[in-house]
C-alpha cells in the first residue's frame, strides 16, 4: 500500500561512485540485504545522524570514523539494526568495517557502517562477512537501482531521485536513494539516505549544505512520530566535476540539491507503512519557523486527524483541536485561518460561513491533500509532509517480527 505510482527513476552514473549488492541472508533468503558504496579518492563526504539517545552501534562507529578520515566505503545491511546491542554491537560494527577494509585494501576506519531492521538482536556476523566479497565483486557505476532495493525493510518500493545543474558551463549531476516507511520522525535525517554528486565542494560547505538541506526535507516528514535509532543521511561530492564556489553557482546548486532531498523525503511519506494519503501541511504567518513547525507537527501527529484522513472523513474539528493544542503562547484563535485544499474550513474563531460538508468531503477523498494553516502572528512559515493512519499500519507493526 502506497500513494502514487512511485516509479524508480533512471539514475545516471556519478563519476567516482560505484555500488554493489549481495544476498547475504541477513534479512530474508533470496533478496538483496547487503550494499557496498565505493567512493573514489579525492572526494569530500558529509553526514547527519540520529539524535536518539539509544543510537545504534553503527551510528557511533560511523561518526567516529568520519571524524578520522574521508571514507572510501559505505557498508549497509538491512534486516538487523544492530541497535540496543551494547558492546557486542560495537565490536560487530567495527569488525564489519575491518573486514571490508581488508578485502578492499583500505583502513577499517575508511569504512562507515549503516544498519537497519529489527532492534535488539545481534548481527548475524558470519552471514554478513560472507556476503562482502560478492558485494565488492558487483561494484558498478550503474548500481543505484540494485542498491536502492538492497537497503529496504518494510518499504514496498525503492526510492530514488536525480537532477542536474550547469556549473561553469559543465553539467553537474546529483543523485540519491533513500529508505524508510515506518518509525519515521527523523531528528536530523531519514532512516537511511545516500546522495552523491560529481561536483567539487569544500568540506565545510558540504557539511553546511547537507545540514540545512536536511532541515528542510527529511526533518519535515513524519509517519508515526517515532525517531529511529539508526537514522543517517550521507552526502558525497566526488570532485570529478567543476567546483561549486561562486555565489550564483552555489545558489543554483543548493536549490537543486534541496530539490533532490525533498523528493527523497517525500518518497518515504508516499510509501509510509499502510499509507493511503500523502498530506502536505503548510503553516504560515507564524512568529518563528519553530512555531510553524510545532503547529504542523502537532496536527501531523494527531491520531484523530490521521484516522480521519484515512477514512476520507471531513471531520474538520479534529484539525482545529490539534492546532489549538500546539505549544504556541498567546494564541489568538480569531486570527487563525484553516483551509483544506481550496476549501475554507475555519476563520474568525469557528467554522467558515462558506464551508459545506460536501466540499470538504470531496477534498478528503483524494490521495493527495493539502492543509493550510495561517496563524496571523508573523511572517515565518514551514511545510511538513505526513501520511494517514490505516488498519494496515497496525497490522504491519503488530506482525513485524512474526
Which residues belong to the active site? 190
Three-class SS state of 196? strand
- Cβ burial of 78 (10 Å; 0-12, 13-18, 19+) is buried
- Kindly provide the b/e burial profile for residues 306-320, where b requires at least 16 CB atoms within 10 angstroms of the residue's own CB: bbbbbebebbbebbb
Paired with 194 in beta bridges are 177, 234
Angle of helix 303-310 relative to helix 316-324, nearest 10 degrees, comes to 160
- Kindly provide the b/e burial profile for residues 352-391, where b requires at least 16 CB atoms within 10 angstroms of the residue's own CB: beebeeebbeebbeeeebbbbbbbebeebbbbbbbbbbbe
CA 45: distance to chain centroid?
A: 18
- The backbone torsions φ and ψ at residue 387, rounded to the nearest 5 degrees and listed phi first, read -130, 175
Q: Are strands 221-222 and 380-387 parallel, antiparallel or unpaired?
A: parallel
Supply angle C-alpha 72, 250, 202, rounded to 5: 30
Torsion of Cα atoms, 265 then 271 then 277 then 280, to 10° = 0
Return d(Cα 320, Cα 394) in angstroms, integer: 26
- The backbone torsions φ and ψ at residue 195, rounded to the nearest 5 degrees and listed phi first, read -125, 140
Tally of CB atoms within 10 A around 110: 19
Q: How many residues are present in the chain?
A: 402
DSSP string, 278-341: EEEEEEEEESSHHHHHHHHHHHHT-HHHHHHHHTT---HHHHHHHHHTSS-TT--GGG-EEEET
CA 117: distance to chain centroid?
A: 15
Distances (CA, A) of 279 to 51, 344, 399: 25, 17, 26
Amino acid at each position: 500500500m502506497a500513494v502514487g505510482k512511485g516509479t524508480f527513476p533512471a539514475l545516471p552514473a556519478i563519476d567516482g561512485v560505484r555500488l554493489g549488492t549481495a544476498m547475504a541472508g541477513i534479512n530474508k533468503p533470496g533478496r538483496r540485504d547487503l550494499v557496498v558504496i565505493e567512493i573514489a579518492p579525492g572526494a569530500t563526504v558529509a553526514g547527519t545522524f540520529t539524535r536518539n539517545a539509544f543510537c545504534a552501534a553503527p551510528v557511533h562507529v560511523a561518526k567516529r570514523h568520519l571524524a578520522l578520515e574521508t571514507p572510501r566505503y559505505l557498508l549497509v545491511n538491512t534486516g538487523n539494526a544492530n541497535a540496543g546491542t551494547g558492546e557486542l554491537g560495537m565490536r560487530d560494527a567495527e569488525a564489519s568495517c575491518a573486514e571490508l577494509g581488508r578485502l578492499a585494501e583500505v583502513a577499517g576506519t575508511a569504512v562507515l557502517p549503516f544498519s537497519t531492521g529489527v532492534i535488539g538482536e545481534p548481527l548475524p556476523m558470519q552471514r554478513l562477512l560472507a556476503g562482502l566479497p560478492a558485494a565488492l565483486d558487483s561494484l558498478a557505476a550503474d548500481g543505484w537501482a540494485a542498491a536502492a532495493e538492497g537497503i529496504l525493510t518494510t518499504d514496498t518500493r525503492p526510492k530514488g531521485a536525480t537532477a542536474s545543474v550547469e556549473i561553469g558551463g559543465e553539467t553537474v549531476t546529483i543523485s540519491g536513494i533513500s529508505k524508510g516507511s515506518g518509525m519515521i520522525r527523523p531528528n536530523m535525517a531519514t532512516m537511511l539516505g545516500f546522495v552523491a554528486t560529481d561536483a567539487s565542494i569544500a568540506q565545510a560547505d558540504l557539511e553546511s549544505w547537507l545540514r540545512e538541506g536536511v532541515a528542510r526535507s527529511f526533518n519535515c516528514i513524519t509517519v508515526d512520530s517515532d525517531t529511529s535509532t539508526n537514522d543517517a543521511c550521507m552526502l558525497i561530492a566526488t570532485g570529478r566535476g567543476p567546483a561549486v564556489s561562486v555565489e550564483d553557482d552555489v545558489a543554483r546548486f543548493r536549490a537543486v540539491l534541496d530539490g533532490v532531498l525533498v523528493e527523497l523525503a517525500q518518497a518515504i511519506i508516499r510509501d509510509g507503512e499502510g499509507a493511503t494519503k500523502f498530506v502536505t501541511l503548510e503553516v504560515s504567518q507564524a512568529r518563528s519557523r519553530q512555531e510553524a513547525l510545532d503547529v504542523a507537527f502537532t496536527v501531523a501527529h494527531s491520531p484523530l486527524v490521521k484516522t480521519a484522513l484515512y477514512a476520507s472523513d471531513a471531520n474538520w474539528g479534529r484539525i482545529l483541536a490539534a492546532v489549538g493544542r500546539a505549544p504556541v503562547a498567546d494564541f489568538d484563535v480569531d486570527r487563525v485561518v484553516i483551509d483544506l485544499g481550496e476549501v475554507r474550513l475555519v476563520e474568525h474563531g469557528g467554522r467558515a460561513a462558506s464551508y459545506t460538508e460536501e466540499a470538504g468531503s470531496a477534498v478528503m477523498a483524494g490521495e493527495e491533500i493539502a492543509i493550510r494553516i495561517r496563524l496571523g502572528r508573523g511572517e515565518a512559515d514551514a511545510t511538513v509532509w505526513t501520511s494517514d493512519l490505516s488498519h494496515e499500519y497496525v497490522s504491519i507493526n503488530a506482525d513485524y517480527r512474526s
